[in-house]
Amino acid sequence: MERSSHSVTATSGQTGQQEARALEPQSAGKPHFRVASAAASRGAAAADCRPAQPLSAAARRALREVATVFAWEFRTFLLRPTSYVLLLVAAVLAGWSFSWLVTLLARGPDPALRPADDPIAQFLGPNIFLIGACTLLVPLLTMNAIADERRRASWELLLTTPVSRLTVVLGKFAALWCVFMTCLGPWFFHLAVLRCWNGRIRFLWNFIPWSDGAALQFDWGPVISSGIGFTIVGATFIAVGLGCSALCRGAATAALLSLVAMTGILVLGFAPRVLDYWNFSAEQVRLIEAASCWGHIERFSRGVIEPSIIAGHLSVCAALLWGTAWVARRVDEG
């Protein structure tokens, strides 16, 4: 009798546990990211009845996610040894271009170059050093953004965090954009040196070396407008390279595709002069000039700031970034 009573008690206990498990809410699956304790403590019914998140709070959350991806991408760039080689190459190209500028200033206007422009405009305009630097920097900077992460299987790890692909693309774009502008910083540093130092040094308190006087006097207006032009057009360059990286699964393929795209942008910059030489109509030449990125940089280097050009580049850049997120999803699914 005692055994039967114990068995009845065990059976009733097991039945009660099964009923308790049946009454527990069934979860669709555990999330693959860490959930906050406050969010985990809410019931399923409260989560279903929760009001929509305000737009300002959603915007702040999106900005925090973009900032997190930005910091992660920028730190990854600084941890690569090849990144410092890339920065060194950019600084050498800027110094080479500065020596060319000093030669122009010493010899005066050279008819072999563009005699209609002053040397500062030629230094900040589409010259061989600046074109070569941008054409090589963009593929080398963007090839590791998405394509190389797919090869190292860290792209899937990044997407397991509670962020969207568009947020990841925006964070990477912001980081690469800042790195690209850092690579172009020596161009403006050399102009500051040319403006503030005449080559002679005097010592303050017989100890601190200091400039003995100002050197070349020039207008800062074209320099500021060129900085705006590099910022706006450089964003388009980085967006193009990031889109090429989203299409590929290897860093070398992404770099080659981005180099082809940058070469196409360069050819489009020379197209208006070729069409004018072949006696095309002025409307056709003007249409190609409106789409030429290097033509826009040339206008900025002359001190001309056109809001239509800025709005056009911002629109194209936004469309390219959205398309990059969409292409990345398609490539990952395919």
Q: Is 61 left (phi over 0), alpha (psi -120 to 50) or beta?
A: alpha
Say how many residues make up the chain.
Answer: 334
pLDDT of residue 314: 94
Segment 229-254 mean pLDDT: 93
Query: Is residue 223's pLDDT more than 80?
Result: yes
Query: Is residue 107's pLDDT more than 50?
Result: yes
Residue with tokens 């555990």: 30
Instruction: Name, in order, each residue with C-beta under 8 angstroms of 292's C-beta and a sequence gap of 6 or more.
Output: 268, 269, 271, 272
Asked whether residue 190 is domain-assigned, the answer is yes
Asked whether residue 47 is domain-assigned, the answer is no
pLDDT of residue 47: 38
Task: Identify the helix (H) or strand (E) that includes residue 170.
Answer: helix 165-196
Distance separating alpha carbons of residues 254 and 144, to the nearest angstrom: 8
Asked whether residue 134 is domain-assigned, the answer is yes
308 or 39, which is more confident? Answer: 308
Which of 51-65, 132-146, 190-204, 309-323 has the weakest average pLDDT?
Answer: 51-65
pLDDT of residue 117: 62
Distance separating alpha carbons of residues 139 and 244, to the nearest angstrom: 9
pLDDT, tens digit, for every residue of 139-180? 999 998 898 888 888 888 777 777 888 999 999 999 999 999
Range of the domain at 293: 64-198+209-333
pLDDT of residue 38: 41
Segment 200-228 mean pLDDT: 79
Check: CB of residue 86 under 8 Å from CB of residue 188: no
Query: Is residue 24's pLDDT more than 70?
Result: no
Distance separating alpha carbons of residues 333 and 275, to the nearest angstrom: 43
Check: CB of residue 91 under 8 Å from CB of residue 187: no
Asked whether residue 105 is domain-assigned, the answer is yes
Asked whether residue 101 is domain-assigned, the answer is yes
Asked whether residue 14 is domain-assigned, the answer is no
Segment 324-329 mean pLDDT: 92
Segment 37-48 mean pLDDT: 40
* Distance from the Cα of residue 128 to its chain's centroid: 23
- Structure token digits, residue 96: 């080479």
Segment 47-65 mean pLDDT: 66
Asked whether residue 3 is domain-assigned, the answer is no
Phi, psi of 203 (to 5 degrees): -110, 125
When divided into structural domains, the chain yields a total of 1
Distance separating alpha carbons of residues 101 and 190, to the nearest angstrom: 10
Using DSSP's 3-state secondary structure scheme, residue 206 falls into coil
Using DSSP's 3-state secondary structure scheme, residue 56 falls into helix
**Average of per-residue pLDDT values in the chain:** 79
Asked whether residue 4 is domain-assigned, the answer is no
Phi, psi of 293 (to 5 degrees): -65, -40
Check: CB of residue 164 under 8 Å from CB of residue 180: no
pLDDT, tens digit, for every residue of 76-92? 899 988 889 999 999 99
